[in-house]
Amino acid sequence: MISNNGCVILEDNASMLEYVKYLSSRLYRDVTAEIEDIKASNEKRLADVKTGLLLRERIIGNYFLKSEDVAFFGESFDGKAVLKKYLTVKKNVVISGEFKIIERFCFSLCESIENLKFDEGVEQIEESVLIHKDSLKSLELPKSLKYVGSKAFGDCVNLESVSISGTRTEFTNNAFVGSKWSDSLKGDFIVFNNQLIEYRGRKRHVIIPEGIKEIVGGAFGNNKRIERITFPHSMVNIRGLFSFGEYSALSEVEFLGEGLRLIGIDAFSFCPMLKEIVLPSGLKTLGGGAFGQSTVINCKKCSKRIKNQVKKQYQHYIVE
């Protein structure tokens, strides 16, 4: 089916299979002539192709469909439209808000996108949707966006402009890693939407500024200099995963307030020097493996549910 904007929409796996069969039959009828045709119009992209399989994918994406975009999509378990694969040779691409979820590797075959915009309605961009693409220069994210996955736009070295409209979007720490835009951000604390995305400082005692509400997974990477960290009154969530990297030197954690609600999975699990931690009274959710087994968990101020969880998961604890 072809939509109003000229994009071929394949609504299920059966139609996707039939369409691919159709393209394959065209490909194999006269592959030599097709390749020569593409070379004449797109020699540079073919030079980057390393295998026959990739060559066929480029032919399908850039030659047979050079005058129209193709979108393969399905539904999530809760009925939301998922954009699974997008094929285009355009430089300027706008993704419709009808697609709520953008699946990983969605743009893996797109080598020409320079300016990418996601319309209002898009809610989730999964990991590595557009990775290692030198062509990408600008990115526009909508207010409706709730989540951007790991390395979603990682190693897009020429990405120099990112527009973030939403104030509640959850980012991973390396969503834009390796880009000009990420490298241009200055300061010890890289913060989006009150979330600490990355700590770039070298202090042994890190005092997180007031106003920051969340720590995303991997925010402290493999920084092995940090020995002490102080969380502000404003801190609400420490999301993990591996917020403090592996084999951290962290030995002391201080919470200035009692408002922390969540400590995520494996947040402090690789901090062997952390001998004891006092959990705030407001803690509602404690992720599995949040701490290493050598850490004493002091949860005297916590709810009965948190205390019972600590007793089940850890060998060393203080509950009374």
Any domain includes 116: no
Single out the residue of 91, 145, 137 nearest to residue 118, CA to CA.
Answer: 145
Any domain includes 255: yes
Any domain includes 151: no
pLDDT of residue 60: 37
pLDDT of residue 305: 95
Cα separation, 27 vs 48, in Å, equals: 20
Any domain includes 61: no
Domain residue limits at 198: 186-320
Any domain includes 206: yes
Query: Is 200 in contact with 183 (CB distance < 8 Å)?
Result: no
Helix (H, G, I), strand (E, B) or coil at 12: coil
Burial 88-119 (b: 16+ CB within 10 A, else e): bbeeebebbeebbbbbbebbbbbbbbebbebe
Helix (H, G, I), strand (E, B) or coil at 148: strand
Any domain includes 293: yes
Report the chain's C-alpha Rg in angstroms. Answer: 24
pLDDT of residue 302: 95
Cα separation, 146 vs 169, in Å, equals: 4
Question: Roughly how many angstroms between the first and final C-alpha of the chain, as a whole number?
Answer: 65
Q: Look up tokens 């200099």; give the residue.
A: 225
pLDDT of residue 55: 35
Any domain includes 31: no
pLDDT tens for the chain, residues 1 to 320: 445 455 555 555 555 556 555 555 554 454 455 545 544 544 444 444 333 333 333 333 333 333 457 777 777 888 888 888 888 888 999 998 988 999 999 999 888 999 999 999 999 999 999 999 999 999 999 999 999 998 999 999 999 999 998 888 888 888 999 999 999 999 999 998 899 999 999 999 999 999 999 998 888 877 889 999 999 999 999 987 767 766 678 999 999 999 999 999 888 888 889 999 999 999 999 998 899 888 999 999 999 999 999 999 999 999 88
CA torsion through residues 47, 48, 51, 53, sign: negative
> How many domains is the chain partitioned into structurally?
1
3-state helix, strand, coil split of the chain in percent (to 5) is 20, 25, 55
CATH at 256: 3.80.10.10
Helix (H, G, I), strand (E, B) or coil at 201: coil
Q: What is the DSSP string of 257-273?
A: SS---EE-TTTBTT-TT
Any domain includes 197: yes
Cα separation, 141 vs 122, in Å, equals: 9
pLDDT of residue 37: 56
